[in-house]
């Protein structure tokens, strides 16, 4: 079997000081920008459209088409906003990318902004990852000094300001309209749509919001062509992407492969599930995507095939859990996350997550009550599709899918604590040192 990996975005991650401009340039960095600036902006849009690049943030919306929505006859300024608020549980691709090779993103930002005729681009980075923020800021500074950003970029007459903005650590700000509110200095809460950001986004101006990985893929498409890009992947899911394997995996990490690879292949690359254990369940794209089981090991990981098994490709955050893991405990932890991160704007998500956590806590302690499973399912039904944004929908995915596949564990939660059924130390990977030890 040939090596299924196709390192493009991750190709330079292992190199010495890959984040520095000189090292990035040595590998042909910013050649894509030079080519793009020779093209008409509309040609760049067409090229990206033709490549079949779809949004890597989870929803999979065609990137070129999104750019095409920007009304070019609108006299207001246009903005490019990069969603670097990577917070989905299990997701770990944008942050390592920005850490290892920030210039891949910065080059993508400049090309993409040029394509939509924007003169201001914002990179909204999750606030907790201060080291990434610093590295990005440094990369942007380098790009300015090298003439890739600022006035008259590479003598083309095109000018662009790039602003790196640190969020304050709220999952909701990964929702694009909440991100815009946060970027404008307000509380991050999702906005009413319409108007859509393409028409009235940041400061009520036409705005494109793209995921880091989507934008970072653009330079390679410009440099290698749309045919090169679309030669990878499956019929409707083109190109390569970063899969993040985590959990009970022997060698967790980021694996860049064409869309359509299976978890079985990826696990082979990652050395399989940890020694002596078997896969029990996994998420295809973070906790907001309904979980799958070992029955789905051969599902091609592209947008269509994962949807075909009633889940979503999402962020390709493949969290793998082995047979030592309590499903009730896992679902409770995720649900606590959603409760903590619910912005509070709409009733179903705000109150629903508050309630779900209480039921699951009882169940974890073996104090589930008759009817709790039905209650959980019904509450999820009352949240899914009823909340203001997708956060509420995401909160229901782990619960409904867990009950679908592991109902017996929820039934056991009527009488036995999860820690008795699944002693927690057995599923622990990283043993925390006792406080004070080794200090």
Partner 1 sequence: MTVIANQQSEAAVEKREDLITLTIDDVEVSVPKGTLVIRAAELIGVEVPRFCDHPLLDPVGACRQCLVEVPDGGTGRPIPKPQASCTLEVAPGMKIKTQLTSPVADKAQRGNMEFLLINHPLDCPICDKGGECPLQNQAMSHGYAESRFTDEKRTYPKPINISANVLLDRERCVLCARCTRFSEQIAGDPFIALIERGALQQVGIYEKEPLESYFSGNTIQICPVGALTSAAYRFRSRPFDLISTPSIAEHDACGSAIRVDHRRGKVMRRLAGDDPAVNEEWITDKDRFAHRYGDGEDRLTRPLVRDGNVLRPASWPEAIDVAVRGLKAAGSSVGVLTGGRLTLEDAYGYSKFARAVLGTNNIDFRARQHSAEEADFLAHAVAGTEQNVSFADLENASAVLLVCLEPEEEAGMIFLRLRKAFRKKQLATWTLAPYASSGTRKMGAQLIACVPGEEASVLDQLNTGDDSTDDRIAEIGFDAKSVILVGERAAGLSGTLSACLRLAERTGARLAWVPRRAGDRGAVEAGCLPNLLPGGRPVSDAAARVDTQTTWGVESLPWLEGRDADEILIAAADVELEALVVAGVDPNDFVDPQGVLEGLEAIGFMVSLETRASMVTERADVVFPVSLMHERAGTFMNWEGRRRHFDIVLEQPNEMSDLRVLAALADGLGTDLGFRTASQARAELDELGTWEGLRSEAPDYPAGEPAEPDGSSVLLATWRMALDESRALDGEPYLQATARAAEARMSPGTAAAAGIAGVAVISNDRGSMTLPAVIDSEMNDGVVWLPSRTPRLGIPQHLATSAGDLVTLGSADELAVSDDMEASE
Residue 4, φ and ψ in degrees, nearest 5: -80, -10
For residue 279, list its beta bridge partners.
Answer: 322
Q: Which stretch binds partner 1 (CB under 8 A): 86-94, 316-324, 351-359, 396-404?
A: 351-359
Q: Which is nearer to partner 1, 125 or 357 (CB)?
A: 357
Whole-number CA gyration radius for the chain: 22
Q: Which is nearer to partner 1, 141 or 367 (CB)?
A: 367
Q: Which is nearer to partner 1, 76 or 426 (CB)?
A: 76
Q: If binding is defined by CB under 8 A, does position 340 make contact with partner 1?
A: yes
Q: If binding is defined by CB under 8 A, does position 370 make contact with partner 1?
A: no
| From candidates 86, 88, 107, 341, binder to partner 1 by CB under 8 A | 341
Cβ neighbours of 8 (radius 10 Å): 22
What's the CA gap between 82 and 67, in Å, rounded? 13
| From candidates 24, 388, 406, 422, binder to partner 1 by CB under 8 A | 388
Measuring CA to CA, how many Å separate 186 from each of 173, 247, 296, 428?
11, 36, 42, 40
Q: If binding is defined by CB under 8 A, does position 126 make contact with partner 1?
A: no
Q: If binding is defined by CB under 8 A, does position 266 make contact with partner 1?
A: no
Contact 321, 293 (CB under 8 A): no
Shortest Å distance, C-beta 54 to partner 1: 20
Shortest Å distance, C-beta 161 to partner 1: 30
| From candidates 192, 431, 435, 437, binder to partner 1 by CB under 8 A | 192
Q: Which is nearer to partner 1, 296 or 345 (CB)?
A: 345
Q: If binding is defined by CB under 8 A, does position 187 make contact with partner 1?
A: yes
Q: Which stretch binds partner 1 (CB under 8 A): 149-157, 277-285, 318-326, 367-375?
A: 367-375
Question: Could you say which residues in the range 152-171 bind partner 1, by CB under 8 A?
Answer: 170
Shortest Å distance, C-beta 342 to partner 1: 4
**Helix H or strand E segment including 245:** strand 240-247
Contact 313, 301 (CB under 8 A): yes
From 138, 50, 71, 103, select the one nearest 212 (Cα to Cα): 103
Q: Which stretch binds partner 1 (CB under 8 A): 120-128, 287-295, 338-346, 431-439?
A: 338-346
What's the CA gap between 64 and 279, in Å, rounded? 37
Q: How many CA atoms lie within 13 A of 367 on its CB side?
A: 5
3-state class (DSSP) for residue 282: strand
Q: If binding is defined by CB under 8 A, does position 379 make contact with partner 1?
A: yes
Shortest Å distance, C-beta 415 to partner 1: 18
Q: If binding is defined by CB under 8 A, does position 336 make contact with partner 1?
A: no
Shortest Å distance, C-beta 286 to partner 1: 19
Contacts of 192 (CB under 8 A, 6+ apart): none
| From candidates 346, 363, 373, 412, binder to partner 1 by CB under 8 A | 346
Q: Give the rounded distance of the alpha carbon of 132 from its chain centre.
A: 16
Shortest Å distance, C-beta 374 to partner 1: 10
Contact 114, 44 (CB under 8 A): yes
What number of chain residues touch partner 1 (CB under 8 A)? 34
DSSP string for residues in 95-150: HHHHHH-HHHHHHHHHHHHHHTT-SEEEEEE-TT-HHHHHHHHHHHHHHHHTTSSB
Question: Which residues would be at the binding site for partner 1 (CB under 8 A)?
Answer: 170, 172, 187, 192, 339-348, 350-355, 358-359, 362, 369, 371, 375, 378-379, 381-382, 385-388
């Amino acid at each position: 079997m040939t090596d299924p990996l196709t390192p493009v975005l991750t190709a330079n991650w292992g190199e010495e000081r890959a984040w520095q401009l000189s090292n990035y340039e040595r590998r042909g960095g910013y050649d894509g920008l030079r080519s793009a600036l020779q093209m008409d902006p509309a040609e760049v849009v067409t090229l990206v459209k033709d490549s079949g690049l779809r949004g890597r943030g989870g929803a999979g919306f065609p990137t070129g088409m999104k750019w095409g929505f920007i009304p070019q006859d609108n006299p207001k300024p246009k903005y490019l906003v990069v969603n670097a608020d990577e917070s989905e549980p299990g997701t770990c691709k944008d942050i390592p990318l920005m850490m290892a090779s920030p210039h891949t993103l910065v080059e993508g930002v400049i090309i993409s902004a040029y394509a939509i005729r924007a003169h201001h681009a914002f990179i909204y980075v999750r606030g907790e990852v201060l080291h990434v923020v610093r590295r990005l800021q440094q990369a942007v500074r380098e790009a300015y000094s090298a003439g890739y950003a600022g006035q008259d970029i590479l003598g083309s007459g095109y000018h662009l300001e790039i602003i790196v903005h640190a969020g304050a650590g709220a999952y909701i700000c990964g929702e694009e309209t909440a991100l815009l509110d946060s970027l404008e200095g307000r509380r991050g809460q999702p906005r009413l749509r319409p108007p859509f950001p393409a028409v009235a986004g940041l400061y009520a101006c036409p705005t494109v919001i793209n995921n880091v990985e989507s934008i970072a893929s653009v330079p390679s498409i410009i440099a290698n062509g749309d045919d090169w890009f679309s030669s990878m992947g499956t019929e409707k899911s083109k190109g390569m992407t970063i899969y993040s394997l985590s959990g009970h995996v022997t060698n967790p990490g980021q694996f860049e492969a064409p869309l359509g690879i299976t978890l079985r292949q990826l696990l082979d690359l990652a050395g399989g599930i940890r020694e002596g254990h078997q896969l029990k369940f996994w998420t295809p794209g973070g906790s907001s995507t309904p979980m799958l089981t070992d029955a789905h090991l051969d599902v091609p990981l592209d947008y269509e095939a994962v949807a075909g098994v009633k889940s979503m490709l999402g962020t390709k955050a493949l969290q793998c859990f082995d047979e030592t893991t309590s499903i009730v405990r896992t679902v409770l932890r995720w649900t606590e996350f959603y409760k903590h991160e619910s912005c509070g704007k709409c009733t179903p998500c705000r109150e629903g997550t508050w309630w779900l956590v209480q039921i699951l806590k009882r169940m974890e302690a073996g104090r589930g009550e008759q009817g709790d499973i039905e209650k959980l399912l019904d509450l999820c039904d009352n949240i899914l599709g009823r909340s203001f944004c997708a956060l509420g929908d995401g909160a229901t995915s782990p619960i409904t899918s867990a009950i679908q596949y592991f109902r017996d564990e929820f039934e056991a939660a009527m009488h036995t604590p999860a820690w008795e059924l699944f002693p927690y130390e057995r599923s622990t990977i990283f043993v925390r040192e006792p406080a004070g030890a080794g200090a």
